[in-house]
Structure 1
Amino acid sequence: MKIKPEQLSRHLQQLAPVYLVYGEEPLLVQEACDAIRTAARAQGFNERELFHGEAGFDWNQLLTEANSLSLFADKKILELRIPTGKPGDKGSKAIQEYCQNASPDNLLLVIAPKLDAATQRGKWFKALESTGVAVQTWPVPANQLPRWIGQRLQQAGIKANNQAIEILADRVEGNLLAAVQEIEKLKLLVSDAEVDATTMSTVVADSARYNVFTLVDKILLGDAQSTARTLRGLREEGSEPPVILWALSREIRILLKASDAHRNGEPLERALKNAGVWDKRQPLYKQALRRLQGPQLRAMLRLCRNTDQAIKGLGRDDPWQNLTELVLNLSGTPALTGATIKLAVTP
């Protein structure tokens, strides 16, 4: 069964044995997965095992864990993340075998990025979809973002006029995670009065002096020294690495999508627009694409994956060191030299 994220809550009253959550909008994927985990815990699934279906992964681990009995006889959530969206032949067979013998004592939660039509016709996808529930998330289009923000504000108990909502939508430029963070800040700062344009402008502009939006702009401009200082400021002000990593990986994917389309003959302006870049920001991205090519951007995406694992404690890398390397490389400065390491830590 395939459903939309907004349909998920009523399907969680009676849990399915398998859930597949996929899409290119991290916030919506995260929220759907959180809802599934919460519902599962409420129904006795108190253990959680995490698997990463990447190159070199032993898919027998998934089947072995599914068949093993818990010491305390608790039900288990088996969470399988497939970062590439392609489990390969061994992974496909393992997933199909799991679905054929799904146990009521296990709940399989599979998390994947956007999956193309060919992948959705694959046997592993069909097995998950027929055994349980597939939840597909979609980015919120720019013309629907004000409405989405308005709904979120209403859910948070915040009254805001249309002009205020438009200001917030313009500020976050499609970054749903940033929009949610600003709404959480509004809950703390505003009273019961309606938020107007002046209040919204003041609150949004009153973000930390070193904020992620500033970091992204300096990266696109190629200002390596200022970029490194901004990253250091974010760290000192308590910003969380996952938020910064999300912003960086999002920009890398946008640049890569536009770069590939342009290399295949599409005019750069159209390539950027199709990649989700607003007209007024296209000059920044054009400047970045003059120094960044497809192979570099793909290498940075691999570093993003390593950084994500480091943040989760699954690797030996230092997340902040990896983030420094990412921002410097994106700014056009090779990050693995003594000079750039010094640049990254110098006030």
Structure 2
Amino acid sequence: MRLRTEQLSEHLAQGPLAPVYLISGDEPLLAQEAADHIRNTARAEGFNERELLHAEPGFDWDTVLTEANSLSLFAEKKIIELRIANGKPGDKGSRVLQEYAANPSPDNLLLIITPKLESAATRSKWVKSIEAAGVFIQAWPVPPGQLPAWIGKRLQQAGIQASRQAVDILADRVEGNLLAAVQEIEKLKLLLPEGEVDAATMSTVVADSARFNVFALVDKALEGDAQGASRNLRGLRDEGTDATVILWALARELRTLIKARESLDAGDHMDWVLKNLGVWEKRKRPVKMALKRLPINHLKQMLRLAGGIDRAIKGMRTANPWDDLTTLTLMFCGSPVLQPANLRLALRD
């Protein structure tokens, strides 16, 4: 079976799950969401274990069959996630995938993720065997003419009512980058009051340099530019930017870094980790810099501080949120401003 990403929800709702799924495409947001949807549905049906395999040069393809035939200690059903970075399994990989598809295990779900497959590859024996046994999902980019409708639907899902003119303005701004569109919608949820967003409001929000400097602050912090990040933070404070918006942006990046660090520590490949977390191409460099600089315990300390700042903003903790935001920003840059012991003292209510 071959499906488009927009057909996946109906397929999963109707059930049952197919034994094999192949997701291919050069639209990272749609590919990521499709994989998440399959994983979540599988977990709801008892697939509680997940084994992640990277088919890179030197990969032992027999590992796929070994994992498929191995039973866990608790006999739970398992997701075997296979990521083929170049989309080319080679002769050995092709034979293994055909063998698996011919006799899939009912206790396993094989989820294969690749970049966009060329036309010839979609007609290969291994892809055809997966289509026969399971589902081949292609994540196509949204054509320019369909982008306003796609954005309008996403806005509705986020609880935002927007005029056609407002939707067109946002579509023009993101220029086909779906990840950028989703991030803009997340910002709109934070920055705008309830009610319909008209063209004038959308233009004001997307052109407000003070608000967009929040994301410049995050980039400077990721790069370790303590002086630039501190100067940017002071500017945002002086311009009257809401501390909640800044905290949201920093905490969001922290959670991404923690997930990435945990995946890397588990042996996952950097490029796959960043792609699956939805990190834009132009932001990969600063994110990589932060991951090399910040160990997992440091990141978790920072997230704890972010929780304390949130309580201070809400009046649940006696502290100056801007002072703590400065501390958090400097920690992002790698400055050892707080150690575990005095962090506990700093966060006392």
Bin for the TM-score computed over the shorter chain: 0.5 to 0.7
1:122 correspondence with 2:118:
no
Q: 1:321 to 1:136 in 2, by over 3 A?
A: closer
Q: 1:228 to 1:174 in 2, by over 3 A?
A: farther
Matched AA of 2:55:
G
Query: Do the aligned residues in 2 keep the contact of 1:54 with 1:87 (CA within 8 Å)?
Result: no
> Which residue among 191, 194, 206 is the counterpart of 1:192?
194
Shift of 1:67: 0.1
Query: Do the aligned residues in 2 keep the contact of 1:242 with 1:311 (CA within 8 Å)?
Result: no
Corresponding residue number in structure 1 for 2:18: 16
Query: Do the aligned residues in 2 keep the contact of 1:5 with 1:135 (CA within 8 Å)?
Result: yes
Matched AA of 1:73:
A
Q: 1:139 to 1:131 in 2, by over 3 A?
A: same
Partner Cα separation in structure 2 for residue 154 and residue 208 of structure 1: 23
Could you tell me which runs of 5 or more consecutive residues in structure 2 were left unpaired when the two chains were aligned.
Answer: 234-248, 258-267, 276-283, 291-332, 334-349
Shift of 1:166: 1.4
Corresponding residue number in structure 2 for 1:290: none
SS of structure 2 residue aligned to 1:209: helix
Query: Do the aligned residues in 2 keep the contact of 1:161 with 1:195 (CA within 8 Å)?
Result: yes
> Which residue among 289, 307, 327 is the counterpart of 2:270?
307
Q: 1:36 to 1:90 in 2, by over 3 A?
A: same
Matched AA of 1:126:
K
1:107 correspondence with 2:70:
no
Q: How does 1:133-282 map to 2 (within 5 A)?
A: 133-206=135-208, 207-209=211-213, 211=215, 238=250, 240=253
Corresponding residue number in structure 1 for 2:240: none
SS of structure 1 residue aligned to 2:18: coil
Partner Cα separation in structure 2 for residue 180 and residue 141 of structure 1: 16
Matched AA of 1:5:
T
Identity within the alignment, %: 60
Q: 1:324 to 1:70 in 2, by over 3 A?
A: closer
1:70 correspondence with 2:59:
no
Partner Cα separation in structure 2 for residue 30 and residue 62 of structure 1: 22
Corresponding residue number in structure 2 for 1:34: 36
Of stretches 114-123 and 140-149 in structure 1, the one that deviates more from structure 2 is 140-149
Corresponding residue number in structure 2 for 1:4: 4
Matched AA of 1:209:
N
Query: Do the aligned residues in 2 keep the contact of 1:242 with 1:308 (CA within 8 Å)?
Result: no
Partner Cα separation in structure 2 for residue 157 and residue 210 of structure 1: 23
Shift of 1:209: 1.2
Corresponding residue number in structure 1 for 2:27: 25
Matched AA of 1:203:
V
- Higher Cα Rg, which structure: 2
Matched AA of 1:28:
L
Could you tell me which runs of 5 or more consecutive residues in structure 1 were left unpaired when the two chains were aligned.
Answer: 216-226, 245-304, 313-318, 326-344
User: 1:174-233 deviations in whole A, cap 9, x for unaligned?
Assistant: 110111111122223323311012221233234441647x98xxxxxxxxxxx9969x85
TM-score, scaled relative to structure 2: 0.63
Partner Cα separation in structure 1 for residue 255 and residue 86 of structure 2: 19
Partner Cα separation in structure 1 for residue 62 and residue 192 of structure 2: 53
Matched AA of 2:205:
V
Matched AA of 2:271:
D
Count of equivalent residues: 249
TM-score, scaled relative to structure 1: 0.64
User: 1:316-342 deviations in whole A, cap 9, x for unaligned?
Assistant: xxx8678469xxxxxxxxxxxxxxxxx
Shift of 1:17: 0.4
Shift of 1:50: 0.4
Partner Cα separation in structure 1 for residue 94 and residue 144 of structure 2: 36
Partner Cα separation in structure 1 for residue 183 and residue 286 of structure 2: 25
Corresponding residue number in structure 1 for 2:340: none
Q: How does 1:56-67 map to 2 (within 5 A)?
A: 56-67=58-69
